[in-house]
Amino acid sequence: MWFPLALLAVLSVLTQQVLANGPLLAVDRWVRDTVQGWVAADPWSWTNTLAERWTDLGVATYSGAVLTAVTLVVTIRLRSWRPLVAALLAACALFGTVIPAKILIGRPGPEGAPVAPGDWGWFPSGHTATASICLGTAALILCTAWPGLRRLAYPATAFVCAGVGFCLIWRNYHWLWDVVASGCLTGIVLWCLCRWPLRRHAAEKS
C-alpha cells in the first residue's frame, strides 16, 4: 500500500509547487536549459527526428490502438471480460484526470506561451500519461494470458514510456515535472489495475 501512497504524495507536492510557483520549479528550468544545451551541441540531425517520432507514441491514435488490439486478443483468448474492464478503467482514469488537471492548473510550457482560460496547460504531460497508461495497461493485460512474457514485456514497456518522457523534454515540449507527475499518475493507475480486476483474474486461473 505504501507504493501508491508515495506516488500520490509526490504528485501532490509537484502539483502544489506548480500552482504556487514554488522553488522546485528551479529544477525544471535547470533541466530544460541543460537538455537544450545538449540539443544545440548535438552534431547529428537524426536524433531530433528520432525524438519527434518517439513522442508520437504519446498520441492516443498509436498507444490507444496497441491497448485496443491487445485487449481484444486477450479477451478472446481467455474468454473473460476482465481485460476489457481493465482497459476501460485505464481509459477513464487517463481522460478523467489528465485533461481536467491540465485545464484547471493551466501551466505554461517551456517556451512560455500563456494558457488562455479553458485551454489545456502542460501539467501533467498528456503524451507521457497516454503512452504510459495505455502501453502499461496493455503489458499487464498481455501478461495475464502469457505470464512468461513478463521479463520482456515489463522492462520493454518501461523503456519505451521513459523514452517518450525524455524525448518530450528533448524536443522542449514539456518540463521535467510535467513528465514526472504523469509517471506518478501512471504508477497509481497500474497498481490499482493489478489489484482489480487483473489480480482477481489471475486468482481465478490459479
Q: Is the pLDDT of residue 117 over 80?
A: no
Identity of the residue numbered 48: N
Work out the number of other CB atoms within 10 angstroms of the CB of residue 148. 8
User: What pLDDT does residue 50 have?
Assistant: 97
Name the pLDDT band for 119 (thresholds 50, 70, 90).
confident
CB atoms within 10 A of CB 183: 21
Q: What average pLDDT does this structure show over 170-185?
A: 98
DSSP code at position 125: -
Cell of 83: 481485460
Is pLDDT at 202 greater than 70 in this prediction? no
Share of the chain above pLDDT 70, in %: 96
Name the amino acid, one letter, at 70: V
Contact 89, 140 (CB under 8 A): no
pLDDT in tens, 90-100: 999 999 999 99
Q: What is the dihedral of CA 47, 35, 125, 122, to 10 degrees?
A: -120
Q: Are 136 and 17 in contact (CB under 8 A)?
A: no
State the pLDDT at residue 172: 96
Burial (CB < 10 A; 0-12, 13-18, 19+), residue 142, is: buried
Of 118 and 59, the one with more pLDDT: 59
**Residue 55: pLDDT band with limits 50, 70, 90:** very high
pLDDT given for residue 203 in this prediction: 45
Q: Is the pLDDT of residue 206 over 60?
A: no
